[in-house]
Amino acid sequence: AAAFGLYFPRKEYSENVYIDQPAGTPLLRIHTLRDSHGEVAHFHLCQNLIISRARSHENHWFQIREKTGLLYLSKSLDREDFNMLSVGNWMPLSKVMLYVFLSSHPFQEKECDSATRTTVVLSLMNATAPACSSLTARQLCFTEMDLSFHIKENKPPGTFHQLQLPSVHHLCQNLSISYDLLAAEGMPFRYNENTTGVSVTQRLDREERERYELIAKCTVREGFREMQVEVPFLVNVLDEDDSPPFLPNGTDTAEAVVEFNRKEGTVLATLTVYDADTTPIYPLESSRKKYTGSIITDDPWISETFRVEHIFDEIHFSPNGSQVRGTQHEYKLVLNKSISVTEHRSFQLDVLVNDTEFPGPERSVMLHFNVSILPVSIQFPNMTYQFTVNRNAERFAQIGKICIENCMKFRGVNISYKLLSPNVSCYPVSILQGREGKWGSLYVNDSSVLRRPECKEIQYTIQATDKQSRKHTKTLLTIVLEGTLLKKEEDCPDSCAVSKHRAECEECGGLGVLTGRCQWRQGSGKGITTNYSTCTPSIKTCPDGTCDVIESKDPAVCPQDCTSGNIIGGHGKGTGNLGIKSGHGICYCFPRQNCYCEKDDIKEQLCDEMCKTVI
């Protein structure tokens, strides 16, 4: 809490000042509200007028009554003063600023650093004061600034504004200007007709209601004429930390299970804490310090392995029909590092949530996470793998995937697959690590072996190893070679993607083909589409929108997924600017060079009905 709690109900006040207004002219009245009973406000001006950012000038003209907060002219401003104060103002309207300071004791000399201050903006009107008859009712009644105030909750009542404008009242004494404040029934505000003061009549509670919308009404009477002006009058209630944290439905426990997902950064469980107070997200750091959540443990392994992430968000309560802002805090239990597959334990982890600024014993809540860390076994499903490979397959043909049990569910577990070489000379296949270290991809590494008649059935042992724990497991893999050798076509390109037409595509082979021949994918042919026509080693894997590990070994295998070069024609690029995600018509590529997407020319019928009859 501050040393003293007097405060201004507005951040800024404004008024116009005219040339040659006489000394003693009242300009405006500033009010304060108290923090506790018995405080007395003392107002004080600082030495300088702020003209613009870089300019200031000693104040010779304005003074404030220390007790009442009435700001008045102590010396008339002549044209020369005006010109001097307007220098450096390049706005159409010259403005000077004054700071009014506040203290609960009489001011000592030069006390200009009190934190409690408000700004008065004076617009220098380049004219003498207008005649009352030339002012509109709006100008006679209210200043340009919105009537918007803030009042702190739980503070004693008091007067915080005066509707009457001292400057107008002083200038236009023969006009009758009266005010009224229109408020709905039961609002805690009162208007005093004699002083035109508006006061708050009771302590406010922001958690009950945080906004009051009233209407200030002004009536100007001039002989038989009567004019009325109405403007909104808003009061915002400022929040202080007067509510403790509480748990929705009393839930203070959550289950947190670690099994296949063991990766650093995984959110295991979330518990929610509510608070009826607001928590500003700006500035963020101070709110983080204000509301803390910390793991209570003396086990170093726990504090290294887990962390708590705190996010909060604004929510709304409706205590009695009006919407009131509150806060929802979420405390997430997060893995601070990846956990080994061998780890096996369960325990209760406690998190202490503390609303540090709440004055009272209920400021903290204990959250419990029932953590169970289960081990996962590294083993192949109980079977041996068997793949058949066509003898006409080319290098980089994809044969199949190898995967230990539950491998697709793993996160943060890195499995590496290895082929233990057989003691034969037939050795056509290799294995490559798939992305994210989950599975292994089998592919043809040496196609010449496939053509050798003595190689028929090859036995391998596959080993899968968990990188972190070095745990490993083995299984058998049989590769059966089948099919009869086809004659190699002459002058075929080594990449399927080069072929533009179905016929040339299907009579050639290329890198990555499974049966010796490329495959043709017939697209739908509607504009630029993901389903474009193209020639590929295998429709199953290319183009499928991802450039997998085997395709990325050689740019000739599947440029449709992997190209980073230019694509000429209507197209859309794939993720990371690789490959052709969508194309117009037929897309074909020259590896390491450009790709082209174009509509095939419409083949005219060789002979139409007319021509046939002639023949």
- Cβ–Cβ under 8 Å, residues 145 and 12: yes
- Residue-by-residue DSSP string for 372-434: EE--------SS-EEEEEETTPPTT-EEEEE--TTGGG-BS--EEEEEEPPSSS---EEEEEP
Q: Which residues contact 315 (CB under 8 A, 6 or more apart)?
A: 274, 325, 326, 327, 328
Nearest-approach distance from CB 90 to another protein, in angstroms: 6
The residue ranges that bind another protein (CB under 8 A) are: 11, 50, 52-55, 83, 86-93, 99, 112-113, 144, 148, 150, 236, 238-239, 278-284, 313-314, 573, 575-577
Nearest-approach distance from CB 537 to another protein, in angstroms: 24
Determine the Cα–Cα distance for residues 570 and 578; give it in Å rounded to an integer: 16
Nearest-approach distance from CB 101 to another protein, in angstroms: 11
Structure tokens at 138: 């709006």
Nearer to another protein, 231 or 455 (CB): 231
- Cβ–Cβ under 8 Å, residues 585 and 525: yes
Nearer to another protein, 89 or 370 (CB): 89
Structure tokens at 116: 């409690």
Determine the Cα–Cα distance for residues 225 and 177; give it in Å rounded to an integer: 12
Q: Which residues contact 100 (CB under 8 A, 6 or more apart)?
A: 8, 30, 43, 44, 45, 64, 69, 71, 117, 118, 119, 120
Q: Which residues contact 349 (CB under 8 A, 6 or more apart)?
A: 256, 295, 297, 302, 306, 333, 368, 369, 371
Nearest-approach distance from CB 74 to another protein, in angstroms: 23
Nearer to another protein, 117 or 502 (CB): 117
Nearest-approach distance from CB 494 to another protein, in angstroms: 30
Which residue shows structure tokens 């599947």?
558
Determine the Cα–Cα distance for residues 444 and 463; give it in Å rounded to an integer: 18
Nearer to another protein, 250 or 576 (CB): 576
Nearer to another protein, 283 or 453 (CB): 283
Helix (H, G, I), strand (E, B) or coil at 547: coil
Nearer to another protein, 202 or 575 (CB): 575
Nearer to another protein, 395 or 584 (CB): 584
Instruction: Indicate the residue type of 183.
Output: A
Nearest-approach distance from CB 232 to another protein, in angstroms: 14
Nearer to another protein, 3 or 91 (CB): 91
Nearest-approach distance from CB 526 to another protein, in angstroms: 22
Which residues make beta-bridge pairs with 321? none
